[in-house]
């Protein structure tokens, strides 16, 4: 049994460790995201070099145009829904009893942040 505060303590430690790089490096739990505002590869390589000097290269993904995290894809064009999540919804068998329909709508709640009128669309189904 681990300490209940371990994730919080780890996150605070990582934030302090990379605090001087917050203009181009953000963390989420045990992942680091390195980004640059311009499309210049030189700018990105400089930022990457600064971060790489501080952690293990073997656990890294390089030259990714999209980075999957928490069911979303983070990329140059912003945050997008994970295509695998969309496939699950598209391939869902036609729900018959009300319970199956409720389960389907519950699964679709994932897209809530991508669908402005989700509640209005789902209301007639409930």
Residue among 42, 72, 48 at smallest CA distance from 60: 48
Residue 71 DSSP label: T
What's the structural domain count of the chain? 2
Predicted confidence pLDDT, tens digits, the chain (126 residues): 455 667 788 888 888 888 888 888 888 877 888 888 877 899 999 998 888 888 777 777 777 888 887 778 888 888 888 888 889 889 999 988 989 999 988 888 888 888 888 888 888 887
Whether residue 1 lies inside any domain: the answer is no
Q: Which tokens is 11 given?
A: 């996150």
Whether residue 78 lies inside any domain: the answer is yes
Find out whether 74 and 33 touch, Cβ atoms under 8 Å: yes
Which residues constitute the domain of residue 59? 6-63
49 and 94 belong to one structural domain = no
Q: Which of 47, 63, 79 is the last residue of a domain?
A: 63
The answer, as to whether pTM is greater than 0.75, is no
121 and 74 belong to one structural domain = yes
Residue among 80, 87, 126 at smallest CA distance from 106: 126
């Amino acid at each position: 049994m681990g300490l209940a505060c371990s994730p919080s303590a780890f996150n605070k430690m990582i934030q302090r460790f990379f605090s001087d790089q917050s203009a181009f490096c953000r963390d989420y739990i045990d992942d680091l995201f390195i980004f640059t505002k311009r499309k210049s590869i030189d700018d990105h390589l400089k930022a990457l070099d600064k971060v790489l000097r501080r952690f293990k290269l073997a656990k890294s993904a390089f030259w990714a145009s999209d980075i999957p995290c928490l069911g979303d894809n983070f990329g140059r064009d912003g945050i997008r829904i994970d295509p695998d999540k969309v496939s699950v919804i598209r391939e869902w068998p036609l729900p018959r009893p009300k319970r199956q329909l409720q389960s389907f709508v519950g699964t679709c709640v994932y897209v809530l942040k991508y669908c402005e009128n989700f509640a209005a669309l789902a209301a007639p189904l409930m």
